[in-house]
Amino acid sequence: MASIRELHQQLVSKARSARELTQETLQRIDATEPKLRSFLHLTADSAIARAEAVDAKIASGEDIGILEGIPIAIKDNMCTRGVPTTCASKILENYIPPYDATVVEKLSAAGAVSVGKTNLDEFAMGSSTENSAYQVTGNPWDTDRVPGGSSGGSAAAVAAGQCVVATGSDTGGSIRQPASFCGVVGLKPTYGLVSRYGLVAYASSLDQIGPFARTVEDAAIFLEALAGYDSKDSTSLKGDVPNYAAALESETIANLHGDKLKIGVIQETFGEGLDAEVDGAVKAALKVYEELGAEVEMVSCPTFRYGLPTYYVIAPSEASANLARYDGVRYGARAEAAENLIGMYAETRARGFGAEVKRRIAIGTYALSSGYYDAYYLKAQKVRTLICQDFKNAFAQYDVLVSPTSPTTAFKAGEKTDDPLSMYLSDLMTIPVNLAGLPSLSLPCGFDRQGLPIGLQIIGNVLQETKLLQVAQRYEQASEWHTKAPSL
């Protein structure tokens, strides 16, 4: 499967037209979608029209941008004007936003060709995409298995060549864990690097949009298009967006300690619950880094284990407020038969939300209730501060931190749906990163005996996406995992 740069060359040299590229992509979707079910809505007509516009530009001799004519997909929790945006929820069935999310606007402006909206866990709550109210997405490496979640549709689509790159959103691991499960690169940027305007909120202080790609370079190019200050998002960070892809051309990495890259391996992520094959693959990857000249050491982040309980107070608390607006009054589904207002609210929400969403709304409502606030929400915020402090200490010594992305490889569909706690555990290693607002990516570092991809998580300090991508690419260039594609 070709990279963005290769496809761009083909378009510029007229070896291939954007229309051809889009049509081939749509054909690939047609052929694979019955098995994968990655997409909730396809936008074939508008994709062809956009591709034709790019072709017209090339024909007239104009220069085109790096993403122009490149087929992409959008996670269905990002608003697209005139195109359904359901968040994989019944409560937003047939909901069509009147505006574009900032990232959607930016990608349109960059000339990217969106082929459709991808499946997810309802309102991005889940780790397997099984919480979608509409369909279960298959993992391209074994369609009986889950693609991870919540951005499972995007991860599967990129892995299976249904698009070149796709957007995901990551609140507790929703980009990195499915990237790991599907054998692709997934990056969660620093909180505030990418605008959240138009991203349907799950947990506002944790949500962040980022790229899925098949290579580190593609991720860098796509991230550059997504990132940047947005006056519509008060939590958006000011400052210029670095040229991430250009930085990958550079021979040197700006290390903390002279010429040696110092990698800290988070001790707490190895141990009970970690699959032996995942453990082996990650340790082998660390060997590769050592061979490349990096200094690799174990580092303890003692508060790491408090990440999960902290997250499951803060995220549901914010979610309970964020999801209060789905009440049937102004938009979305409404239960019509109710006798009165309270009945209408109750019935609309009872029918419109799935079990996991209801569970988190209930947890959050409880945690914020008078008399419980201090014990839960306030305490969780304090722990969050401690987790940030732990990372800060670690980054005083190390350039990057690494861990497995997920304790296991992709599990079977239905395996964990009745056991929410076990499902929650698959985000154990990614969650603390969101609590600290740090950038982090997952890239393929091997396969288990069943042929399922294993992911390596690399965590960077605030706004160090460049270093993160550089470090990841060093490994990618020394390995061949990214060249493998699922057979389907």
Task: From 172, 168, 58, 69, select the one nearest 114 (Cα to Cα).
Answer: 69
By CB under 8 A, name the one of 243, 373, 392, 477 that touches another protein.
373
- Distance, in Å, from the CA atom of 77 to the CA atom of 88, rounded to the nearest integer, reads 8
**Nearest approach, Cβ of 329 to another protein (angstroms)?**
5
Task: Give yes or no for residue 351 binding another protein (CB under 8 A).
Answer: no
What's the start-to-end Cα distance of the chain, in Å?
Answer: 14
Nearer Cβ to another protein (181/345): 345
Task: Give yes or no for residue 200 binding another protein (CB under 8 A).
Answer: yes
The stretches of 243-305 forming alpha helices (DSSP H) are: 244-249, 276-291
- Distance, in Å, from the CA atom of 316 to the CA atom of 202, rounded to the nearest integer, reads 8
Contact 130, 413 (CB under 8 A): yes
Task: Give yes or no for residue 353 binding another protein (CB under 8 A).
Answer: no
- Footprint on residues 278-297 left by another protein (CB under 8 A): none
**Nearest approach, Cβ of 208 to another protein (angstroms)?**
13
By CB under 8 A, name the one of 141, 181, 197, 289 that touches another protein.
197
Kindly name the residue from 57, 75, 106, 416 that is annotated as catalytic.
Answer: 75
Sheet holding 262-266: strands in order across?
Answer: 39-42, 113-118, 71-75, 165-169, 209-213, 185-188, 440-447, 453-459, 400-404, 262-266, 295-299
Stretch of 77-85, 131-139, 153-161, 212-220 lying at the interface with another protein (CB under 8 A): 77-85
Beta-bridge partners for 374: none
Active site annotation includes 205 = no
Task: Give yes or no for residue 340 binding another protein (CB under 8 A).
Answer: no
Q: How does DSSP classify residue 376?
A: I
Task: Give yes or no for residue 370 binding another protein (CB under 8 A).
Answer: yes
**355: number of Cβ within 10 Å:** 11
Kindly name the residue from 128, 150, 195, 403 that is annotated as catalytic.
Answer: 150
In sequence order, the 6+-apart residues with CB closer than 8 A to the CB of 61 are none
Contact 130, 136 (CB under 8 A): yes
Nearer Cβ to another protein (188/482): 188
**Nearest approach, Cβ of 457 to another protein (angstroms)?**
25
- Distance, in Å, from the CA atom of 38 to the CA atom of 140, rounded to the nearest integer, reads 10
Nearer Cβ to another protein (330/449): 330
Residue 319 in tokens: 């979610």
Kindly name the residue from 174, 180, 195, 440 that is annotated as catalytic.
Answer: 174
**Nearest approach, Cβ of 447 to another protein (angstroms)?**
37
- Distance, in Å, from the CA atom of 141 to the CA atom of 434, rounded to the nearest integer, reads 28
Nearer Cβ to another protein (121/476): 121
Task: Give yes or no for residue 109 binding another protein (CB under 8 A).
Answer: no
Active site annotation includes 320 = no
Task: Give yes or no for residue 3 binding another protein (CB under 8 A).
Answer: no
By CB under 8 A, name the one of 222, 345, 395, 411 that touches another protein.
345
Nearer Cβ to another protein (313/423): 313
Interaction mask 302-321, another protein, x per CB under 8 A: ---------------xx-xx
**Nearest approach, Cβ of 157 to another protein (angstroms)?**
21
Residue 125 in tokens: 């709550």
Task: Give yes or no for residue 95 binding another protein (CB under 8 A).
Answer: yes
Burial of 379: CB neighbours in 10 Å, binned 0-12, 13-18, 19+: middle
- Distance, in Å, from the CA atom of 86 to the CA atom of 133, rounded to the nearest integer, reads 10
- Footprint on residues 209-268 left by another protein (CB under 8 A): 231-235
By CB under 8 A, name the one of 134, 229, 270, 331 that touches another protein.
331
**Nearest approach, Cβ of 422 to another protein (angstroms)?**
28
**Nearest approach, Cβ of 101 to another protein (angstroms)?**
6
Task: Give yes or no for residue 94 binding another protein (CB under 8 A).
Answer: no
Active site annotation includes 114 = no
Nearer Cβ to another protein (303/348): 348
Q: What one-character-per-residue DSSP string does 171-219 give?
A: SSSTTHHHHHHHTSEEEEPPTTSB--TTBPPSSTTT--EEEEESSHHHH
Number of residues that bind another protein (CB under 8 A): 44
- Distance, in Å, from the CA atom of 391 to the CA atom of 313, rounded to the nearest integer, reads 20
For tokens 């594609």, what's the residue? 485
By CB under 8 A, name the one of 10, 23, 365, 417 that touches another protein.
365
Residue 276 in tokens: 């032996």
For tokens 């690419």, what's the residue? 473
Task: Give yes or no for residue 56 binding another protein (CB under 8 A).
Answer: no
Binding positions for another protein, rule: CB under 8 A? 77-79, 85, 87, 92, 95, 97-99, 101, 196-201, 203-205, 231-235, 317-318, 320-321, 324-327, 329-331, 341, 345, 365, 368-370, 373, 377
Which residues are part of the catalytic machinery? 75, 150, 174
